Chain A
Amino acid sequence: MTQPAAKSDYQGRIHNLQKDMIGRYYSRLTAAAENKSEKAIYMLVSGNPVELIEAFDMIPVYPEVNALQLAVKKQSLPLILAAEEMGYSTDNCAYVKADVGMYFAGRKTPFATIPEPDLILCNYVGCNVYLQWFEHLREYSNAPIYNLDVPFFRSNSGEPFADDVQYVVKQLEEVIEVLERMSGKKLDYKKLQRIVALSGETGALWSEIKKLAQNRPSPFDAYFDSVMMMAPLYCLRGTEDGLWFFQEAYKEMKKRADSQEGPLPEEKFRVVMEGPPPWPYLRQFRDMFSRWGAVAVASTYSTVGGIWEFGFRHDPNRPLESIARHMLQWNLTNTNFLERYRQIKEYVSAWKADALVIHSVKSCRLFSAGQGDMREYFTKELNIPTLLIESDIEDPRYFSEAQLRNRVDAFFESLEHQRMMVHK
């Protein structure tokens, strides 16, 4: 049974606010590229110490965000192909390939000119491709590099090992020394505390917004609309602007929740989404779910840059330690696969989901390798209907629309059928 197409774009006020803010961020990047107005620090989005960068009035550059923007704007394929010409494999992460292609195409994109790095700060948080990626950028740019090594979260006690916390804090102190040398000024500790406090408040609001999705209907789609809120979380965390965005977002979402307004005319299925989105075909992908009245009430992708909904807050009284804990434990990429099972399980129960949808992307094996075992666990051990589908986060060649649509349709048809049988 095919459902009528439903409108599936979030068009609230914060959508425009986000566009303005990210537009300003990209103008700053272009200015940094063109007239060296600010020092550009390359970092990865997962658990990172952007608070230190803000404390030195430098600008963070996120190759992942740039790569995804290229995919959304349908610019990624020629850049990926250019990288493959250089010797990158079809099996290498396409984020990296698009970024390398863009680097050698003069760092010019439809949204900004990306500055050369003044420092490559590789916050190695779980993803081994991060190390490769930044190593390659370092080879190409000759910029200085610091590998900020974050031990993988592998303790079963719910707390990272004390040695791990200490190791990361000591490295953060070394990063501060590097930034002091680059800027010629000492760290203003009070300023850092203020910035860390802003991150704490931002995280708290983000967490409250996510909890609003426990309402029926959920006031927003916690996958497709969350990605809109992720850009400010990464690019503007630790700034007054970033905090203001989340204050506005919370107000808007709260109002929608109070008036029982959802992203679709009718919320028929509540799903948890696991895995990154197919950026080159985000709209088409979203429509596959909207036509079934399926709304994501929680998603793991929205926790790549931090997990706040289980209580973590940056703490201005212990700025370095709380940055370290964010990097060690409170982001998706540095936690182990079984922690992710627990996280999803918690979403399914506390957010009252009907099903789990796993979008497996070839580029990101950190996310995807082993998702068949995840499906096994959720279907066989927990009896939660689970759909596993494959495409890619960046490379449009791996998106097979008809095939995906068939899988999605078959899945929701069967869910609908099961419901009818229960209600008979």
Chain B
Amino acid sequence: MATTPVQGISQLDSVFASCREIAQDMDFSTAKQWLKENPQKKAIGCFPVYCPVELIHASGMLPLGIIGGGNEIEVTYADSRFQSFVCSIVKSTLELGLTNRLSFLEGMVFHSICDPARNLSSVFQRNFPGLFVEYVHFPQNFASPLGRQYLAKEYQRLLNGLQQRSGHAPTADDLNRSIDLYNRIRASLREIYRIRTDSPHLISAAESFVLTRAGTLMAPENFLKMLQGVLSELPGRPTRPKDRIRVVLEGSFCELPPLGLIETLEQAGCYILDDDFLRGWRWFTEDVPLQEDPLAALAESYSERAYYSGTKHDTRERKAEHLIRLAREKKADAVVIQAAKFCEPALFDYALYRKALEDAKIPHLQLEFEEKTWSFDRARSEAETFVESLLFD
């Protein structure tokens, strides 16, 4: 393994290695260290999918992605609260709380993404009485401007709650500064995804995944610097293209797939050009405009400048259209649908995707995963068979 690569490569590799550690660290040491160095700051956990992190940041607090326990923790207590047919992330996130791993947080924000997440928010309220627990209602009426207008008011309500906890009432300028910071982060992530499409050998999906995940667990200012470093190094990375099929992946927008599963897909011969991992932290297709009313800008952008999400029910377009468009834009050979077990939004979408992909004659592979999985033999053999069927067709 150990070679003496040129300076740039080793730097990139060490960045990804440290991201991997941060991403898998369920003690949240990086965030805790930062909080220790910034004792006036508090941290707010954000449950998937999308959270308006700018509101938390502008209130003088640190937004963190609290997105389940991965395969790093054993679920012992939460199993008795949520049944066997409830997805893993709901249980493992509660487990993080019940094992005191979240006691360093000032609050948790949940969103109207699905029924179990909704009830989880109540269970958090009851079990952690000192915690600030907020439930944000994202509108589901996109055909009328009423939805967007309403969301700006909902953001104001959230902001009122946050500033009570932080003691800082952000001005429009504060909010715009936070939007600008996160715009830069999201633009950098979009750039990384562009590189993945154009030159997929330069950065793997697993690397981009740990990078994005680590970014949800550190101060955004530090993450932006890290991203800028990665972007400057990537073009010179001396890796060679491999003979792989080009796929886009969808269905993993909430519960995080195990890193080993992403690596398995890549090793089985897939270049994953695009995916919806950590969709909420990369929500916008372009920058949120900086304007006099920042809450209106964020609300408007939620509806008008966002990627597809199975938790956002926009009736202005048929459900599978974005996916067919994406596959064609990326010149993908195939689509991988990778839904979390028991994830109703993703599983419902699949029923429509399947028919649409068949009609469009785009081959697809369907996989189900759980965050806690360790062994990927079955996924490997399914993926290898699928890849072979396309390579030697």
**Partner-B contacts on A (CB < 8 A):** 83, 86-89, 91-93, 96, 124, 126-129, 131-132, 135-136, 138-139, 145-149, 151-152, 154, 161, 163-164, 167, 170-171, 174, 336-338, 341, 360, 362, 364-366, 368-373, 376-377, 390
A-B contact count (CB 8 A): 157
Q: Does A370 contact B123, Cβ atoms closer than 8 Å?
A: yes
Distance between Cα atoms of A128 and B142 in the complex (Å): 16
Would you call B119 an interface residue if the criterion is a C-beta within 8 Å of the partner chain's C-beta atoms?
yes
A residues near B100, Cβ cutoff 8 Å: none
**Does B344 lie at the interface of the complex (its beta carbon under 8 Å from any beta carbon of A)?**
yes
List B147-174 residues whose CB lies under 8 Å from chain A. Answer: 147, 150, 153-154, 157
A174, B144: Cβ atoms under 8 Å? yes
Known: A136-B352, A365-B115, A369-B115. A152 touches B137 (CB 8 A): yes
Kindly provide the distance from the CB of A304 to the nearest chain B CB, expressed in whole angstroms: 14
Q: Give Cα A136–Cα B355 distance, bound, in whole angstroms.
A: 12
Q: Which residue of B lies closest to A97 (CB)?
A: B351
Complex alpha-carbon distance, A11 and B123, angstroms: 41
Contacts of A362 on B, CB cut-off 8 Å?
Answer: 83, 85
The answer to whether residues A135 and B81 also contact, given A89-B350, A167-B150, A369-B116 and a CB cut-off of 8 A, is no
Ordered by A's residue number, 15 sampled pairs between the chains whose C-beta atoms are within 8 Å are: A86-B354, A89-B350, A124-B313, A135-B313, A135-B315, A139-B318, A147-B142, A147-B313, A148-B141, A149-B147, A365-B86, A365-B114, A370-B82, A372-B80, A377-B126
Tell me if B120 counts as interface (CB < 8 A to partner A): yes
Residue of chain B at shortest CB distance from A124: B140
The 7 closest A-B pairs by CB, nearest first: A337-B122, A369-B116, A149-B141, A370-B119, A89-B347, A87-B354, A366-B115
B312 to chain A, nearest CB (A): 10
Which chain B residue has the least Cβ–Cβ distance from A338?
B122
Interface status of B18 (Cβ within 8 A of chain A): no
Taking A132-B344, A336-B135, A337-B122 as given, write out 13 further A-B residue pairs in contact, using a Cβ cutoff of 8 Å, ordered by the A residue number.
A87-B354, A128-B113, A147-B141, A154-B137, A167-B153, A171-B144, A171-B146, A174-B146, A338-B126, A341-B126, A365-B344, A371-B83, A376-B80
Q: Are A92 and B118 in touch, CB under 8 angstroms? A: no
Q: Is the interface of B mostly helix, strand, loop or mixed?
A: helix
Chain A contacts for B118, CB-based, 8 A: 126, 128, 152, 336-337, 366
Interface residues of B in 286-314 (CB under 8 A from A): 311, 313
| Interface of B toward A, CB cutoff 8 Å | 79-83, 85-86, 90, 112-116, 118-123, 125-127, 135, 137, 139-144, 146-147, 150, 153-154, 157, 311, 313, 315, 318-319, 339, 341-342, 344-345, 347-348, 350-355
Q: Verify B344–A92 contact, CB threshold 8 A.
A: yes
Chain B residues near A146 (CB, 8 Å)? 141, 143
Complex Cα spacing A161 to B136, Å: 13
Nearest residue (CB) in B for A366 is B115
**CB-based contact A127/B115 at 8 Å:** yes
- Our pick among B116, B137, B146, B157 for the contact of A365 (Cβ within 8 Å) is B116
Query: Does the CB pair B122–A336 fall under 8 Å?
Result: yes
- In the complex, what's the smallest C-beta–C-beta distance from A131 to chain B, in angstroms? 4
Q: Which residue of A lies closest to B352 (CB)?
A: A139
Q: With A and B bound together, what is the CA distance between A418 and B342 in angstroms?
A: 39
Cross-chain contact of A128 among B80, B83, B114, B157 (Cβ < 8 A): B114
Residues of A within 8 A of B81 (CB): 370, 372-373, 376
CB distance from B392 to the nearest CB of A (A): 26
